Amino acid sequence: MARGFRFARIVMNAALEHDRRSPLFTLYETEERMTKEAATQEPYERRALLLHLGDVLETVFCLSQCADDYASIGDAVRGNDALASFTLLGFVDQRMTPRDFIRRASGAFFIWPKALLDETLNRPMLASTVKSDLFDDNAAGWRSYVEERRAEVPWFGEDVPEIAESAAPAHPAALESTASPSSSSTPAPAPSPSAEAKTEATAPKRKPVEPSVKKEVNAKTEPSRYATWPWPEKK
């Protein structure tokens, strides 16, 4: 009986070792290791992009101080030594006016702070807004910009859609502004006093929420995801 058990154990170990050496198992093991490494690196990649965002804001501010003194970005970089250190200005179209750059850069990066703190990072959106606002019809400049960013964030610029994803939320006010003229120009008829009285009489009356119920609802509210991410919660 003991011999049979030992033999079965040897056979199982041999089969397991064979599975570990199979190409499928090796591929699975490699993918799992890469996933763990990516999860470890992501906080540092987010930090690198946040630092880059700070550089962009500094670029916009410094350029705004002399925006009216130059006709184009190329003229500004050549005429102001303080702007030469901002590499982003060297990647964009040199014929772009300083005011146009400020407007475009604001639209390209305004969503970054929230996007970089989201629990799930929307990688294509981060790059697509920059590409559409700052590098429209400037493929060479876009490639140079992406190459610089990938020195710290290897995946930057991957899977960028041709049409940039909208960064604006679907706000009710925005929906109202896009309503058809026919629907917005015709005001709704005002209800008659008798109809209002009838509605109030038939409408069910809601019970006031007790303080204890309010506390219970607030207790169930999830904490902010920005409270400690990506740093561990202090105990």
Q: Please state the domain extents for the chain.
A: 42-166
Q: What is the pLDDT of residue 176?
A: 44
Spell 71-80 as b/e; 16+ CB within 10 A means b: ebbbebbeeb
- Specify the amino acid at residue 175: L
- Residue 51, C-beta contacts closer than 8 angstroms, at least 6 positions apart: none
Q: Are 229 and 223 in contact (CB under 8 A)?
A: no
Q: What is the DSSP string of 181-225?
A: HHHHHSPPPPPPHHHHHHHHHHSPPPPPPPHHHHHHHHHHSPPPT
Q: Are 103 and 28 in contact (CB under 8 A)?
A: no
Instruction: In whole angstroms, give the CA distance from residue 99 to residue 227.
Output: 37
Q: What is the pLDDT of residue 46?
A: 95
Structure token digits, residue 169:
């939320």
83: DSSP letter: G
Q: What is the pLDDT of residue 196?
A: 52
Instruction: In whole angstroms, give the CA distance from residue 12 to residue 36.
Output: 29
Q: Are 61 and 109 in contact (CB under 8 A)?
A: no
235 residues of the chain, pLDDT tens digit each = 556 666 666 666 666 665 556 565 555 555 555 555 656 789 999 999 999 999 999 999 999 999 999 999 999 999 999 999 999 999 999 999 999 999 999 999 999 999 999 999 999 999 999 999 999 999 999 999 999 999 999 999 998 877 555 444 434 443 344 444 444 444 555 555 555 555 555 544 545 545 444 444 344 455 544 455 555 555 5
Element containing residue 97 per DSSP (H, E): none
Instruction: In whole angstroms, give the CA distance from residue 11 to residue 21.
Output: 16
What is the reported pTM?
0.59
- Specify the amino acid at residue 233: E
Q: Using only C-alpha atoms, what is the Rg of the chain?
A: 29
